[in-house]
């Protein structure tokens, strides 16, 4: 599918005005010419439309102009409320732009859109405290058929390469991207999850079960250099990357990575200090709370502006302005695709990496693979505007985890029934940019005792999972610890040790997965009209004709009249929270119920 995104962007609007002036044409003529060039009745197979911006001239005025331009370029446009309809095409208008999507035979320019329309479900198959006994890859292989049978369509696997902690490293303290558990490095051959052979066998088992596999790509940094180097650097405080805290001075830094255990196999590339822009450790002074910016370097641009510039996160920060660095990451990505055959990437810590890097890297990966690859980035911010800004820079190549939705769940779960559930989806990607939203309830960073701890309380998780699994928006991701449960002990920020028990929600999630596969299809009607009790209905389609009604409450139980367009039909609660069936009236409406602090999923018999 080709996509033309007409984005409300003042900067690009001004740029187009200058072009129009230089060509002595009106802005409208310029845009019409551009649209005509893109909107061909039958685009060549595999063509991917670019995106341009018209500017912030007021949504209503902009919509009228676009309607006129599209009429000239593609024939009549039929406006139905806020949604223009064109033969064989779809247009979506929302507060962040207008998207025109041409759909040839089954293609998609938003990989996330394909998974959303197919009711795909991803599982994050690990959590931070998964045992470090090397069993995960074997477990994945054994459980692959059952996961596919349950309704999962893809697994996001943890970082598969050697970290500084060897067999104990979760994988984000990345040392050698080419060591998948094959070489004696950092005190072990295997990684926390197993050996290279076991990893590749797990991927083969997943593919045999028709499950997609997403690799976790940690490209931001390296940790655990093999030797020190001497260079000049300027110190900054961790919380202030704008104002230097001293003059440039000589530092001794662990920036030489020559991987003695691997001895050049797969790649002869050695990392030196010039490939990084900053570190947080000087072996001479051993000072803490400092970031050392190397001489002649600058922090990368197009990153989060937290701390003034949040390019530096940890370890040896890659200098993405260095061509050797960019070329090496492309070489590694190609090698990884050839070695593993994965179907896409989860991209770690992207708010610390220059946004301009990823379009080329992802294009190179897709071209090398010769097929569409799914990519989802972790941009950790509850501010949906920051997520939009990033996606605007990337276009349709990447989805983002809907961190804003996660924080809505987190806050609602802490308010004990005093949250306005009518607003639970407000200011989220799920609401505003659904085809680029990967929705989730919890993950390895937000789970108890972790760095970004923002727990969704257990009582609320059934409601949250119903929202991400049974609605049409977003590509949902189920967290391993929520499905299987987890028990572990660690120290909190106060220095005290805590025993954590995360209960398994597998019984309910399996029912929701069944409902997603068989009933969560067709038009959706929302009933977000009560402080506590909200619901929606799905009306089915030709392939899955049965209707479904979902009602949940974070407070008292009760009922709600909702339309399912099935007159005189019998509905039962799949969750078995409510035992009495519901019978719809002659007009296809029914009064559906749920208990307090729970969810009921009513399916047509």
Residue boundaries of the structural domains of the chain: 2-109, 121-217+323-514, 222-318, 520-604
List pLDDT tens digits, range 178-191. 999 999 999 999 99
Helix axes 506-518, 461-470, angle to 10 degrees: 20
Does residue 148 carry a pLDDT above 90? Answer: yes
pLDDT of residue 395: 84
Q: Tell me which of 108-112, 224-228, 447-451, 499-503 is least confident.
A: 108-112
CB neighbours of 169 closer than 8 A, spacing ≥ 6?
162, 163, 175, 186, 191, 192
List pLDDT tens digits, range 21-42. 666 666 566 555 555 544 444 3
pLDDT of residue 73: 42
Across residues 321-349, what is the average pLDDT? 97
Cα 163 to Cα 477: distance, rounded to the nearest angstrom: 25
Does residue 532 carry a pLDDT above 60? Answer: yes
Across residues 142-161, what is the average pLDDT? 97
Across residues 50-56, what is the average pLDDT? 35
**What does the DSSP assignment read for 289-320?**
SEEEEETT----SSS--GGG-----SSEEE-T
pLDDT of residue 107: 40
Q: Which two tokens stand for residue 242?
A: 């704008």
How does residue 106 score in pLDDT terms, banded at 50, 70 and 90? very low
- Rounded to the nearest angstrom, the gap between the alpha carbon of residue 106 and the centroid of all alpha carbons in its chain is 23
Give the strand pairing for 316-318 and 276-279. Answer: antiparallel
Cα 360 to Cα 517: distance, rounded to the nearest angstrom: 35
pLDDT over 90 percentage in the chain: 78
- Which residues carry out catalysis? 348, 378
Across residues 523-532, what is the average pLDDT? 96
Looking at 1.10.8.10, 2.60.40.1890, 2.60.40.1180, 3.40.50.20, the CATH number of the domain 520-604 comes to 2.60.40.1180
Domain 121-217+323-514 = CATH 3.20.20.80: yes
Average pLDDT over the chain reads 86
pLDDT of residue 43: 40
- Cα–Cα distance list, 192 to 134, 160, 172, 346 (Å): 5, 9, 11, 19
Cα 81 to Cα 85: distance, rounded to the nearest angstrom: 10
| pTM of the predicted model as reported, rounded to 2 decimal places | 0.83
Looking at 3.10.20.90, 3.40.50.300, 2.40.30.140, 3.40.190.10, the CATH number of the domain 222-318 comes to 2.40.30.140
């Amino acid at each position: 599918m080709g996509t033309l995104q007409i984005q409300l962007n003042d900067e690009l609007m001004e740029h187009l005005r200058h072009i129009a002036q230089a060509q002595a044409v009106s802005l409208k003529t310029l845009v019409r010419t551009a649209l005509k060039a893109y909107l061909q009745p039958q685009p060549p197979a595999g063509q991917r439309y670019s995106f341009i911006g018209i500017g912030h001239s007021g949504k209503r005025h902009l919509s009228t102009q676009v309607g006129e331009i599209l009429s000239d370029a593609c024939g009549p446009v039929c406006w139905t409320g806020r949604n223009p309809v064109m033969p064989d095409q779809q247009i979506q208008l929302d507060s962040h732009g207008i998207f025109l999507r041409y759909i040839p035979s089954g293609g998609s320019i938003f990989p996330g859109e394909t998974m959303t329309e197919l009711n795909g479900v991803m599982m994050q198959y690990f959590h931070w405290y998964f045992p470090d006994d090397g069993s995960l890859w074997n477990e994945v292989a054994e459980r692959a058929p059952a996961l596919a049978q349950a309704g999962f369509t893809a697994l996001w696997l943890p970082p598969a390469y050697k970290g500084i902690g060897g067999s104990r490293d979760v994988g984000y303290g990345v040392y050698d991207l080419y060591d998948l558990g094959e070489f004696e490095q950092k005190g072990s051959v295997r990684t926390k999850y197993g050996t290279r052979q076991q990893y590749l066998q797990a991927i083969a088992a997943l593919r045999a079960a028709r499950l997609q596999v997403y690799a976790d790509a940690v490209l931001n940094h390296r940790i655990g250099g093999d030797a020190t180097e001497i260079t000049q650097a300027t110190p900054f405080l961790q919380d202030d990357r704008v104002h230097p805290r001293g003059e440039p001075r000589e530092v001794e830094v662990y920036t030489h990575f020559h991987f003695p255990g691997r001895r050049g196999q797969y790649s002869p590339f050695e990392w030196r200090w010039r490939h990084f822009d900053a570190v947080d450790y000087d072996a001479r002074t051993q000072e803490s709370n400092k970031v050392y910016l190397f001489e002649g370097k600058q922090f990368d641009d197009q990153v989060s502006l937290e701390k003034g510039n949040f390019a530096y996160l940890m370890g040896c920060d890659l200098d993405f302005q260095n061509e050797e660095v960019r070329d090496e990451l492309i070489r590694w990505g190609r090698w990884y695709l050839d070695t593993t055959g994965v179907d896409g990437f989860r991209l770690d810590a992207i708010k610390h990496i220059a946004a301009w890097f990823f379009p080329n890297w992802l294009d190179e990966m897709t071209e090398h693979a010769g097929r569409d690859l799914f990519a989802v980035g972790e941009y950790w911010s509850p501010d949906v505007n920051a997520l939009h800004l990033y996606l605007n820079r990337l276009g349709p190549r990447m989805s983002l985890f809907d961190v804003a939705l996660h924080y809505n769940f987190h806050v609602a779960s802490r308010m004990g029934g005093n949250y306005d559930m009518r607003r639970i989806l407000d200011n989220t990607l799920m609401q505003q940019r659904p085809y680029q939203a990967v929705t989730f309830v919890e993950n390895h960073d937000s789970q108890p005792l972790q760095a970004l701890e923002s727990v969704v309380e257990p009582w609320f998780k059934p409601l949250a999972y119903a929202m991400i699994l049974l609605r049409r928006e977003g590509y949902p991701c189920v967290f391993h610890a929520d499905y299987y449960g987890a028990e572990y002990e660690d120290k909190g920020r106060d220095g005290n040790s805590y025993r954590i028990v995360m209960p398994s929600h597998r019984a309910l999630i399996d029912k929701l997965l069944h409902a997603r596969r068989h009933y969560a299809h067709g038009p959706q009607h929302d009933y977000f009209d009560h402080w506590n009790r909200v619901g929606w209905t799905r009306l089915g389609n030709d392939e899955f004709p049965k209707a479904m009604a979902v009602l949940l409450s974070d407070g008292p139980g009760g009922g709600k009249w909702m339309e399912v367009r099935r007159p005189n039909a019998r509905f039962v609660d799949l969750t078995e929270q409510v035992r009495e069936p519901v019978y719809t009236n002659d007009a296809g409406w029914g009064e559906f119920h749920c208990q307090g602090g729970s969810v009921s999923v009513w399916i047509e018999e």
